[in-house]
Amino acid sequence: MMTDFKKKRRVLVGLTGGMNSSVTAALLQSQGDEVHGVYLKKSSKPCFMGLCGIPEEEKLAQEMALSLGISFKVVDAEDIYENEVLDPYVHGRLQNQAVTTCVDCQSGFVMKALFQLAKSFKMDAVSTGHCAQVQRDPAQQGSGIDQNKERWVRLLRSSDPLLDESFYLYRLTQEQLSMLILPLGGLTQKLITKLAGEFQQAHSAFNSHLNEYCDLSPAEKTRLLTERVTYLYRAPGVIKLRDGSVVGQHDGLYQFKLGDSPRLDSSVQEKWVVVGFDPTVHALFVGSPETLKYYQLRAHQTHWVRPIDPLKQHTAQLQLSPRNSKTVSACLTLFENSTVIVETEDPLIATEIGQNIVFYDQNEVIGGAIVQHVGKQASIQ
């Protein structure tokens, strides 16, 4: 289904009860679109493990929809949330892998659920409060994607670098991007806040608080693992140096990631960080931060936002975290099975297996992948 931009659009908006999604719904309505709001419920249990976010967010979303005079529906999305966010997190952490739950939540849960609903409700478009930009070729307006002429929908960073959420959305397909509307991507935080104030004056139920789709807190993650994983797999153990010297105790490997600074015996003066794991004996290894510097990694499950030539090497800016927009220049070599070798001139510090990485061409997201191996193990044999 492709969006027709020449007629009044039926737009499904994901409402969270927060400011960004509220401004998004109000903006689209002010432009003449037929807006339909939906709230994605993560659990049927009241505040199950803290995963319902702010307790009153469903009520706030409903009040916002009522104030705007738009239709509103609460959808039970518990199964999708379990499959796309919670299960992968537990599985990954038990293997001492990094799990970027915010990417799983935004692309795997939120977008997947919204596009399924849009298809079911026969909507023309989907919209959220994410701060990123969707750029369409002018020839595509109302006509969809002409693959023969290599016209692609592009995913770009937010015009306000401090708000950018494009990292979360690298898994979106061309079909999804062709239906997606992100009104806030071209706005600054100051302007979004100003619009929220103006809408709040016109609509008493308008919420100007920033409770949008959020990542699990550290406490929620620990509780999730504690309640779902047998003690055998989260047993305490020793902290060692690579030479076997014991320098401390830990309460479970799942609580640590590479680069963390665990509490060591008082006799230890050096500032060691986590450099490895041995799940077979529940051992946590520490050492110098210098050992976590890599210049090469191998990633798999690569997704390209738009096609690129698989026979050529490509250069890109590599971003390692959604919360840190700093990038490093990288050379990409593509292989079969959606695998890519990434080589950099600047070191990649404490990069973890299971970590999501995203490739940019200046401000455009060209793709992303999940780290499979780092350092010497990264080459294709």
Mean pLDDT of 287-304: 94
The domain that holds 141 is classified in CATH as 3.40.50.620
CA-nearest of 49, 47, 48, 69 to 57 is: 47
**Quick one: 95 and 202 in the same domain?**
yes
**Domain boundary residue, one of 188, 218, 248:** 218
pLDDT of residue 146: 38
Report which of residues 15 and 227 the model is more confident about: 15
The domain that holds 325 is classified in CATH as 2.40.30.10
CA-nearest of 20, 62, 13, 69 to 202 is: 69
pLDDT of residue 142: 42
Q: Is 335 helix (H, G, I), strand (E, B) or coil?
A: strand
Contacts of 3 (CB under 8 A, 6+ apart): 9, 124, 125, 142, 178, 179, 181
**Quick one: 258 and 137 in the same domain?**
no
Distance CA 197, CA 302 (A): 41
pLDDT of residue 50: 44
Each residue's pLDDT tens digit, 126-181? 999 999 999 987 654 443 333 444 579 999 999 999 999 999 999 999 999 999 99
- Residue 190 predicted with pLDDT over 60: yes
Note whether residue 189 is domain-resident: yes
Mean of all residue pLDDT scores within the chain: 87
CA-nearest of 105, 311, 123 to 213 is: 105
pLDDT of residue 147: 43
**Quick one: 30 and 118 in the same domain?**
yes
Q: How many domains does the chain have?
A: 3
Note whether residue 226 is domain-resident: no
Residue 225 confidence class, pLDDT cut points 50, 70, 90:
confident
Note whether residue 268 is domain-resident: yes
Each residue's pLDDT tens digit, 237-285? 999 999 999 999 999 998 888 899 999 999 998 999 999 999 889 999 9
Note whether residue 2 is domain-resident: no
- Residue 115 predicted with pLDDT over 60: yes
**Domain boundary residue, one of 287, 305, 327:** 287
**Quick one: 206 and 350 in the same domain?**
no
Each residue's pLDDT tens digit, 45-77? 544 444 444 557 888 899 989 999 999 999 999
Note whether residue 223 is domain-resident: no
Distance CA 362, CA 264 (A): 42
**Quick one: 30 and 98 in the same domain?**
yes
% pLDDT > 70, the chain: 86
- Average the pLDDT over each of 137-151, 189-203, 284-298, 335-349 and give the range with the smallest value: 137-151
Distance CA 315, CA 331 (A): 5
Report which of residues 116 and 200 the model is more confident about: 116
- Residue 364 predicted with pLDDT over 90: yes
Contacts of 17 (CB under 8 A, 6+ apart): 39, 54, 56, 57, 58, 59, 60, 61, 64, 207, 211
**Quick one: 37 and 157 in the same domain?**
yes
pLDDT of residue 208: 54
Residue 347 confidence class, pLDDT cut points 50, 70, 90:
very high
- Residue 19 predicted with pLDDT over 70: yes
**Domain boundary residue, one of 179, 194, 218:** 218
pLDDT of residue 380: 55
Q: Give the E-state strand segments of 263-363 in sequence order.
A: 273-278, 283-287, 293-304, 314-321, 324-335, 339-349, 356-361
Distance CA 134, CA 114 (A): 17
Query: Which range of residues forms the domain containing residue 46?
Result: 10-218
pLDDT of residue 51: 46
The domain that holds 254 is classified in CATH as 2.30.30
